[in-house]
Structure 1
Amino acid sequence: MLNIIVDLIKRYWIGIVLCIIVLPIINFLFGTVCLSTLIAGIPCPTCGITRATGYLLTGRVKESMQMHPLLFLIIGGFILYIFLKKNLKNYRFFIKFYVILCTLIFFFFYIYRMQNEFPNTAPMVYNKDNVVATVLKAAGYIK
């Protein structure tokens, strides 16, 4: 199992390092790492995952589940990947199925959250300082 994790780190180390360096800088400069929120002002289907992970890593499970309860699907996916890669030759089929299933779950949960939480409950809030609104204000289309 440890070999699989080490292999993943070796394979994706550049991306991991870039995320560790770039994401905090983007968060410091713009107050969020979500491109959807930065550009259009609306949350994306995964908005809140970063904060949910932070809460979970600091032992605040209740806050983590309130921020994004589907975080457990991502964690479960990593565990499933490690288990299946170690024990099955045809693990890719199951991983692809899991990814498709999780994508559908995230999509329908996003619709639910947009209907019931947007724009008043974090993380499903509108960012009025988004790029589109700034450009439209500068062009004189909105006040």
Structure 2
Amino acid sequence: MDLYIQISIIVITVAIVVLMYFLIQTMKVLKAALEEVRLTVGELRSDVSQISVDVKEMIHNTNEMTLDVRTKLRSLDVLFATVNDVGQAVHSFTHVMKESAASLVTTIKGKEQHEVYDSESVHSHKTKKISAVTDGIMSSIRIWRKLKNN
């Protein structure tokens, strides 16, 4: 029975030695992996530091651009107010021109009904008034186009 015990002890010893060998090999692989993780974390720290510097600079530039755009938009407010005023003036002008043309047409019709002229003077009078109204309308259209193009 002593022989069985000695063989068992030898087998157990060999098994422990083999187990220790593989355990040591596993520990070496784990050590290499941990070293690689440590290097990667170190690189990440430096990369994150550089990225944070870049992000701070980008935010600073964005703030400057925002302030610049706000300043330029404020300066454009005056321009838009002027354009609004010009639009109001043109609108008032066209309204007055419409009223003037309507009153002129009413006056012409009223005079035609109450006055008797010979056919030449009536035709001449009508032609002059129609010409004046046409000239006024054409002038208004030219002014409108010039304002629109500017």
Q: TM-score range by the shorter chain?
A: under 0.3
TM-score (norm 1): 0.21
Q: Which has the larger radius of gyration?
A: 2
TM-score (norm 2): 0.20
